Structure 1
Amino acid sequence: MVLQVHGSPIGVTSIVIAGLASMGGFLFGYDTGQIACMIIMPDFQRRFATGPIGSDGLPAWNSWIEGLITSFLSIGTAIGVLCGAPLADGLGRRHAMSVEVGVFLVGVIIQVTAFTAWYQVAIGRLVTGLAIGALSAAVPLYQSETVPRQVRAALVATYQLFITFGILVAYLIGIGTDQISNSASWRLLIALSIPFALLLGIGIQFCPESPRWLAARGRNDEAYKSLANVRGCTVEESNPWVEQEYADILALVESDKKLEPAGWAACFRPQRRTLYRTLLGITLQAGQQFTGANYFFYYGSTIFTGAGLSNAFYTQAILGAVNFVCTFGGLYILETYGRRLPLIYGAAGMSVWLCVFATAGVAGNANTKPIADLQIVSACFFLLFYATTWAPGIWLFVGESFSYRTRAKQASLATLANWVSNFLISYFSPAIASAIDFGYGYVFMGCNIANCIIAYCFVYETESLTLEAVDQLYNAGIPAWRSRKWVPEGYESRDQVKAQDSMDDNATHIDDPSPQWKSKPDPLTGEETDKARKNPGVKGMTQTA
């Protein structure tokens, strides 16, 4: 089955890759959602909470132990994300993901076999965090390197969509298992992540490997086959889209051979704006966490219980549903309006609604229904802006903004910042919120104002560009706010790039190429591209560079 996007062929394999690999995001979201449910389950509290007995007959949580159980996942992910780069580079993107799923399953077993030691649950979450962190580096990397650029934004953003789906599924299962009076209430909630993990670990082996990873290791025939697969064609078919991307990848590989191997230190070299992109990735990933979204996801049930709502589980599920549904809008927005504007306006919108949320809690009586309703509404609008902009947009930035030589390592460093920030929020939030209550929302409001300024000043517009063209953009010597006007050589505007993608009949352009296209020698052999493949009827059509 072959779809047409902007006149470009897109194989159903591309959609399968996006969905299956994004199960790594689902596992992250599921773990995020499950702890928010477990922490208020009676049996879980009786076994692991260490505070004095409350009026409900349950021991209260020590805020620091509560923070540790929640945040140990983030400690693991911070370590795991650094392991993700060497695993993805050494084993390949797919095999690395399968190994990481194995580690995840070990962590789940440690958690479900806990009885009264809270630190066993924390250690189990640490181990699952190792896997989730490594997956968070490998999945967007694999997706951005493999799927066609015409659908890259939407398909890479499915990683965030599946995070929200995982959160929602955990909330819904939590509502069901909360009715169980014994330890099955939380053990079952944890164990149900196993089939989702197996689906990723086994299923990903039936997907093609990243063509860029294959070409970098001299496996050119496999790289070409992978490119053809995601376009929905075979190696024997004449497809100029495959020929173009194949030639561009080989040219980049040949260029990289002249450079020394790239270690971790290469991520911090100013040449070719590598340092700029590393620091920007770190800043944006940290900024995504400091939007305040995970404050609601981790502690939403506690927040709304404190606001006088007895059905905090259901309120949390509503927020999870809003987050999930709105993320679909993010897929459309990133494809339609690019990367810069959504990040700028998204941060501004989140600032406004966090201000409403915090002011309602601080100035009003939080135990009254009108104030509680206003807080729920403001939280939903906050999630609307978050889910459509910063949630998927930052993962897309990580997938497409780094040069190939250092891409895996830069993605790991940037994602490390996400997990470190995640840890800070999950660990310190209970103590901070108990001290300043809903005034905590003002802290995140200030962070979003800073995010808005950073996005305007430093984020480049990479919409509709190949990964190789993105590298040229960052080295074009123009400021970020003028990046929307930059185009590859041979084009006059981004609209023309899109129009080129919208050619109705590719065969016409094989016989009668437009001025923007021409045959180009294979970078490795010096022969015409069609001679580099065992496909004499196909002329390589590549952009002039």
Structure 2
Amino acid sequence: MFNFKVHGQPLGLVTIFIAALSSVGGMVFGYDIGMISDMLLMRDFLERFSDIQEGCDANGMNCETYEFSRVREGLIVGLLSIGTFGGALLGAPLADFLGRRWAMTIECIVVSIGFLVQITTFEVWQQFAVGRLIAGLGVGALSAAVPMYMSECVVASFRGTAVACYQLAITFGMLLAYCFCYGTRQLDSDASWRIIVGLGYALTFTLGFQVESPRWLMKNDRTDDARNALERIRGIKTDYDRAVVEHDYREIETNINMERENDAPFWQSWIECFVGSPGSKKLAYRTFLGMMMQSLQQLTGANYFFYYGATIFQSVGIEDSYITQIIMGVVNFVCVFFSLYVLEHYGRRRPLYIGGLWQIVSESNCILLTAIKIWLLIFASVGVCRPPSEYEGMGDLMIVSACLFIASYATTWGPACWIVTGETFPTRTRARQASLATASNWTWNFLISFFSPFITGDIGFAYGYIFAGCNLFASVFVFFFLYETAGLSLENVDIMYSTKGLTAWASEKWVPPGYNSRRDVMEANKMDIYGNPENIEHSDNVDHSDKRFESDENSQASGHREYTSKKESA
């Protein structure tokens, strides 16, 4: 069986398959976002659905000008986000009841129904908008389920890369939409946009071939299936691999048994997400953390460009705004590859709080830029102080500023927020908390998509100043509130958040008791501690009372001495 190791942990072919195929859910997400930006400019689409038409003939046809009102444009774009909000909340009970795999399959079918409603629309713009609403239900549920599923299945050392593949797929889906729209834009018929919607079907029939989450199987008392799924995912080849898998299996089993002791009715488990529970430390804290992180991802301003990029750059005098969208899509896609390295080697915290500030540049063309000079401020300041309609070359500068902003977003905030959502919450409430976090993302997604035409109509490019302020706030928030989860199993993440006295800014140095560093947690030291594969000790055969979570120096020193003693005896 195909197998290789990452930091000493077995990584099977099925793990790679999970990361690649699950990411198709992100591709559906990105494709649905990307296609509407360019479709709003297509002649046939405007003729059928726009409500401002000037210079028409006696029959009301062949008009010189077609435009959408702010309300209609906002609804056509924004109803997708309303659907995704509902889908994100419904995705939790569906994923818990049916399992992660079957839930994702059903959600893809819902997206397909939404595409069908859109593609069969002829004259009624409301039908097209409702089609986007239905597709949004599936997309929203997928956006909650896929990162959670991937985080539950892959090893800690590969988890960041695997979940970042979800963001990579989102950007690839957007790039595909931009390229397809460029290819059909010259078609003088409804095929220009129907082909674009129809091509989305190719992305919606792939998630039913996945392995079920071992943690979900264990939680539902299918222990043999859970062990088999874990072995398939890890790609067992040697006794060492089997020993490591046995350790992971027992760690999952112990954690779920602990959670069952504090299990609650369905309705109460939702309330616990907001008020906390004695059995899960900082539960409410983590709920609000996830919701804030997903909200701030939208408030970076990225979707302002993704939804309205073609319209924005057409307004600054760019001759072919379709090409501009493709350039931004390529930047977005390529920079996510860089994020795969950054988020595994530098953790989650530093890329996020630096990413909020990194859109830095040393030059500006407006005296307003005196302190924090970031790319969003460049974009806004050029548009306000040196309008492209009056100053030649300013439109090109705005494109460069937008692309450099997108580059920083794709490297940090784009993928990192989905990683944080997938690995922050305990197993018992993970689906519900992930749904709440994702619903927050889609709430702001709708607000930005719907109100952007109104805001830009009133303040123009000064809109960028609002997003620049949000980026500054996001960096401060991450520094003070987000814990570093890189290199830890999901069970150890729960222990870290439960550690008394541990602050977010000190969490990068935290390691589970008995280890010198997080690398030790992932490497072959497991074998030093647990002995021969035939006689494995269970890592969680320790006191699970509150004393386990004490973080004072004596407790850490005792754990280190125990670790050293076992290593020497082995």
Residue 181 of structure 2 aligns with an amino acid whose one-letter code is G
Which residue number corresponds to residue 453 of structure 1?
A: 476
Retained in 1: the 8 A contact 2:317–2:388? Answer: yes
Which residue number corresponds to residue 85 of structure 1?
A: 92
Which residue number corresponds to residue 490 of structure 1?
A: 514
Q: Indicate how the Cα distance of structure 1 residues 510 and 247 shifts in structure 2: closer, same or farther if over 3 A, else same.
A: closer
Shift of the alpha carbon at 1:236? 8.6
Matched, 1:503 2:501: no
Q: Indicate how the Cα distance of structure 1 residues 270 and 199 shifts in structure 2: closer, same or farther if over 3 A, else same.
A: closer
Retained in 2: the 8 A contact 1:228–1:234? Answer: no
SS at match of 2:11: strand
Please point out which of 115, 119, 126 is paired with 2:122: 115
Q: Indicate how the Cα distance of structure 1 residues 238 and 503 shifts in structure 2: closer, same or farther if over 3 A, else same.
A: closer
Matched positions, count: 515
Q: Which 4+ residue blocks in structure 1 deviate beyond 4 angstroms?
A: 234-238, 506-513
Matched, 1:442 2:427: no
1:411-436 deviation per Cα after TM superposition (whole angstroms, max 9, x unaligned): 00000000000000000001111111
Matched, 1:218 2:241: no
* In 2: Cα distance, 1:315 partner to 1:220 partner: 52
* In 2: Cα distance, 1:70 partner to 1:119 partner: 12
Shift of the alpha carbon at 1:208? 1.4
Shift of the alpha carbon at 1:325? 0.4
Which residue number corresponds to residue 230 of structure 2?
A: 227
Matches within 5 A, 1:475-486: 475-477=498-500, 478-486=502-510
Matches within 5 A, 1:25-424: 25-53=26-54, 57-200=64-207, 204-205=208-209, 207-233=210-236, 239-261=242-264, 263-271=269-277, 272-350=281-359, 352-367=374-389, 368-424=391-447
* In 2: Cα distance, 1:190 partner to 1:415 partner: 24
Residue 4 of structure 2 aligns with an amino acid whose one-letter code is L
Residue 66 of structure 1 aligns with an amino acid whose one-letter code is E
Shift of the alpha carbon at 1:229? 1.1
Shift of the alpha carbon at 1:522? 9.2
Shift of the alpha carbon at 1:365? 2.7
Which residue number corresponds to residue 496 of structure 2?
A: 473
SS at match of 2:52: coil
SS at match of 1:3: strand
Shift of the alpha carbon at 1:479? 1.1
Residue 214 of structure 1 aligns with an amino acid whose one-letter code is L
SS at match of 2:54: coil
Residue 46 of structure 2 aligns with an amino acid whose one-letter code is Q
Retained in 1: the 8 A contact 2:530–2:536? Answer: no
RMSD, aligned CA: 2.2
Residue 323 of structure 1 aligns with an amino acid whose one-letter code is N
Residue 161 of structure 1 aligns with an amino acid whose one-letter code is L
* In 2: Cα distance, 1:356 partner to 1:388 partner: 20
Shift of the alpha carbon at 1:18? 1.0
* In 2: Cα distance, 1:299 partner to 1:361 partner: 16
1:210-258 deviation per Cα after TM superposition (whole angstroms, max 9, x unaligned): 0110001111111111111111117998622201110101101211221
1:367-414 deviation per Cα after TM superposition (whole angstroms, max 9, x unaligned): 344211111111111011100110000000000000111100000000
Matched, 1:3 2:13: no
Shift of the alpha carbon at 1:502? 3.7
Shift of the alpha carbon at 1:199? 2.5
Shift of the alpha carbon at 1:54? 6.3
SS at match of 2:4: strand
* In 1: Cα distance, 2:255 partner to 2:284 partner: 20
Residue 417 of structure 1 aligns with an amino acid whose one-letter code is S
* In 2: Cα distance, 1:146 partner to 1:348 partner: 33
Residue 258 of structure 1 aligns with an amino acid whose one-letter code is E
Shift of the alpha carbon at 1:482? 0.6
Matched, 1:19 2:7: no
1:289-341 deviation per Cα after TM superposition (whole angstroms, max 9, x unaligned): 01000000000011111111011000011001100000111111100000100
Residue 20 of structure 1 aligns with an amino acid whose one-letter code is L
1:27-56 deviation per Cα after TM superposition (whole angstroms, max 9, x unaligned): 110011100011000000000000132697
Which residue number corresponds to residue 528 of structure 1?
A: none
Residue 239 of structure 1 aligns with an amino acid whose one-letter code is R
Residue 498 of structure 1 aligns with an amino acid whose one-letter code is R
**Identical residues among aligned pairs (%):** 45
Residue 408 of structure 2 aligns with an amino acid whose one-letter code is F
Shift of the alpha carbon at 1:509? 7.1
Retained in 1: the 8 A contact 2:251–2:540? Answer: no
SS at match of 1:402: coil
Shift of the alpha carbon at 1:501? 3.0
Which residue number corresponds to residue 540 of structure 1?
A: none
Q: Indicate how the Cα distance of structure 1 residues 324 and 446 shifts in structure 2: closer, same or farther if over 3 A, else same.
A: same
SS at match of 1:4: strand
Most deviating of 359-368 and 439-448: 359-368
Residue 508 of structure 2 aligns with an amino acid whose one-letter code is R
* In 2: Cα distance, 1:334 partner to 1:3 partner: 21
Shift of the alpha carbon at 1:171? 0.1
Retained in 2: the 8 A contact 1:54–1:60? Answer: no
* In 2: Cα distance, 1:439 partner to 1:161 partner: 30
Which residue number corresponds to residue 550 of structure 2?
A: none
Shift of the alpha carbon at 1:463? 1.0
Q: Indicate how the Cα distance of structure 1 residues 54 and 373 shifts in structure 2: closer, same or farther if over 3 A, else same.
A: farther
1:77-98 deviation per Cα after TM superposition (whole angstroms, max 9, x unaligned): 0011111000000000000011
Shift of the alpha carbon at 1:117? 0.7
* In 1: Cα distance, 2:240 partner to 2:282 partner: 39
SS at match of 1:180: coil
SS at match of 2:53: coil
